[in-house]
Amino acid sequence: MSAQSRSLHKPRRTQLSSVNEDGSRYIIHPSDTHGPFTNWRRIVAVLLIAVYALLPWIQVGGYPAVYLDTDAMRFHFLGLTFLSHDIWLGFFLITGLGFGLFYATALFGRLWCGWACPQTVFLEHVYRRIERWIEGDAPKRRQLDNAPWGGPKLVKRGLKHLLFFLISIAIAHLFMAYFVSIPKLWDMMGQSPSQNWGVFIFVFVYSGLLYFNYAWFREQLCIVICPYGRLQSALIDEHSVVIGYDEKRGEPRGKATQTGIGDCIDCDRCVQVCPTGIDIRQGLQMECVGCANCIDACDTIMEKVGRPKGLIRYGSMQNLEGKRTRWIRPRTIAYTALMLVGVLVLSLSINNLSSASITVWRLGGPPYYIDDAYIRNQYMFRLTNRKNEPSYFQLDAGEVDPDIIVNGIDDPMLIDGNGDVVKALVVLAPKDDFNGPIHLDLNVRDEAGNILATRPLEVIGPNLPTASSDEP
Ligand code: SF4
Ligand code: SF4
């Protein structure tokens, strides 16, 4: 059968699968699937949800494993502590992650969307599971949609939405725990909202958004709002592994009893299980979130009709056309290189993070003062202990001219874990023969005398004329 007759067999979709012809929303009720990809996705989802729920409870080095302490402006990550002035590391983190996602997309299409995106994980493995448990399988859910409002429908819908709302509140509270820690969140929950208006409003609004999204908006977030689906067409090429339909093998489609046709028996099972309601046989579409439901559904059908599995499968467009997939391509090389640069710089920077940091700033007012014998420069410094336990630190000004006096750094300082001290620092340079600026190095040493951080200091003065320069 020709390509033209194939396209006549079933008209191509010309509107969004989740929109009725009159423009109203069509609520998609995907059918249940069974198969290896469904099982693996379920395992991955359980693990991801467990990680999300448990991380704020797990203590590493005295702090939650992942804790963005907004009060103290610190980020604790698996025992490492990042201060607000380490924010520049975020650039390399974000570029590394961004190019990592580009790289994964160029190689494996929307693997992230189908397997690990929180939208898919919570929607498919929490909210839809509850919906199925209360309202039944897809045909029953559709029946309930069309049933008149009455006792049974009110009870089922009421229970479902109550559970949806409670779970949304739980997810929002867990999210908040990443910013305030579990004990503090627990305290806040026992207090009046007026004592924590900011947190209360955030959790309230976020819970509402989660509920709206998972109870009603659902696949629209992926189709209408998420930019990643649209980026996909720019990130993948014919060698990227996506979920696709083997048109060569499947077409011309027809009844299982017909002879001389392709392997697709046109049962529409792949469409019924699709959470975005699309027909993968129409080619790769922006709405495809790579969930692999259609693979399991079609493989089950193929098994039943005694045909080989894999009519819908993971494969590149090249592979689906019977050609070879190339893994190493200019775009994968470029994304790998950019991702590695981000990861490398981030790793080296984290590795070089010292257990102490110091910032120095000049006191307000005149930049220097002239006393009887000295030019005086005044500073403040903030010395931060980046370790999680109390530690001693000592400051020195390095190899300094013995005539220069540095006050404020004589005594060792005991600083609490993740604490800091702010002190004054005064440098006195002899007025005579001052030929500034003078450059000093302010060193932070640990108890054993190892240098942990160094901060340059510039001592400035008026550069008074010397006796020799006064001579004619
Ligand atoms: S599930 Fe397989 S056989 Fe059935 S319509 Fe889809 S591609 Fe064809
Ligand atoms: S087309 Fe297949 S992989 Fe894509 S969203 Fe639908 S069911 Fe999932």
For ligand 1, atom 4, name the residue with the nearest CA. Answer: 267
The mean pLDDT of 40-57, rounded to a whole number, is: 97
What is the Å distance from ligand 1's center to 7 Cα? 16
User: How many percent of the chain have pLDDT more than 90?
Assistant: 63
Residue 458 has pLDDT above 70, yes or no: yes
Using alpha carbons, list the distances in angstroms from residue 11 to 5, 6, 21, 368, 415: 10, 9, 15, 82, 73
Question: Could you tell me if the CB of 446 is within 6 A of ligand 1?
Answer: no
Residue 471 has pLDDT above 70, yes or no: no
Residue 391 has pLDDT above 50, yes or no: yes
- The 8-class DSSP code of residue 25 comes to B
Residue closest to 240 by CA, chosen among 144, 161, 318, 180: 318
Q: Which of 274, 281, 295, 320 to mutate to test the pocket of ligand 2 (most atoms within 8 A of CB)?
A: 274
Q: How confident is the model at residue 1 (pLDDT cuts 50, 70, 90)?
A: very low
Question: Could you tell me if the CB of 268 is within 6 A of ligand 1?
Answer: yes
Residue 11 has pLDDT above 80, yes or no: no
What is the Å distance from ligand 1's center to 269 Cα? 6
* H helices present in 213-329, as ranges: 219-220, 227-235, 247-250, 269-272, 293-304, 317-320
Residue closest to 118 by CA, chosen among 221, 17, 40: 221
Residue 466 has pLDDT above 60, yes or no: no
- The 8-class DSSP code of residue 32 comes to P
**Which pLDDT score is estimated for 12?**
54
Q: What is the distance between the alpha carbons of residues 80 and 351, in angstroms, rounded to a whole number?
A: 10
The two tokens of residue 346 are 């981030």
Residue 472 has pLDDT above 50, yes or no: no
Q: Which of 246, 264, 272 to mutate to test the pocket of ligand 1 (most atoms within 8 A of CB)?
A: 264
Per-residue pLDDT tens over the stretch 417-426: 888 899 999 9
Q: How confident is the model at residue 8 (pLDDT cuts 50, 70, 90)?
A: very low
Question: Could you tell me if the CB of 418 is within 6 A of ligand 2?
Answer: no
Mean pLDDT across the chain: 89
Q: How confident is the model at residue 7 (pLDDT cuts 50, 70, 90)?
A: very low
Q: How confident is the model at residue 257 (pLDDT cuts 50, 70, 90)?
A: confident
Question: Could you tell me if the CB of 264 is within 6 A of ligand 1?
Answer: yes
What is the Å distance from ligand 2's center to 253 Cα? 19
Residue 254 has pLDDT above 60, yes or no: yes
Q: Which of 34, 243, 282, 295 to mutate to test the pocket of ligand 2 (most atoms within 8 A of CB)?
A: 243
What is the Å distance from ligand 2's center to 233 Cα? 16
The two tokens of residue 120 are 């898919």
Per-residue pLDDT tens over the stretch 187-227: 999 999 999 999 999 999 999 999 999 999 999 999 889 98
Residue 470 has pLDDT above 50, yes or no: no
Per-residue pLDDT tens over the stretch 158-169: 999 999 999 999
What is the Å distance from ligand 2's center to 298 Cα? 11
**Which pLDDT score is estimated for 5?**
34
User: How many percent of the chain have pLDDT more than 70?
Assistant: 95
Per-residue pLDDT tens over the stretch 116-144: 999 999 999 999 999 999 999 999 999 99
Start-end of CATH 2.60.40.10 domains in the chain: 356-470
Residue 14 has pLDDT above 80, yes or no: no
* 445 vs 463: which has the higher pLDDT: 445
**Which pLDDT score is estimated for 355?**
85
Residues near 452 by Cβ (< 8 Å), separated by ≥ 6?
Answer: 354, 355, 356, 393, 444, 445, 446
The mean pLDDT of 233-244, rounded to a whole number, is: 91
Judged on CB neighbours under 10 Å (0-12, 13-18, 19+), 457 is: buried
CATH number of this structure's domain 356-470? 2.60.40.10
Residue 75 has pLDDT above 50, yes or no: yes
Question: Could you tell me if the CB of 279 is within 6 A of ligand 1?
Answer: no
The mean pLDDT of 313-336, rounded to a whole number, is: 91
- Cβ atoms of 394 and 415 closer than 8 Å: no
Q: What is the distance between the alpha carbons of residues 110 and 217, in angstroms, rounded to a whole number?
A: 20
The two tokens of residue 191 are 């207090």
pTM of the model: 0.82
Give the ligand 1 atom nearest the CA of 265.
3
**Which pLDDT score is estimated for 9?**
42
Q: Which of 31, 312, 313, 320 to mutate to test the pocket of ligand 1 (most atoms within 8 A of CB)?
A: 312
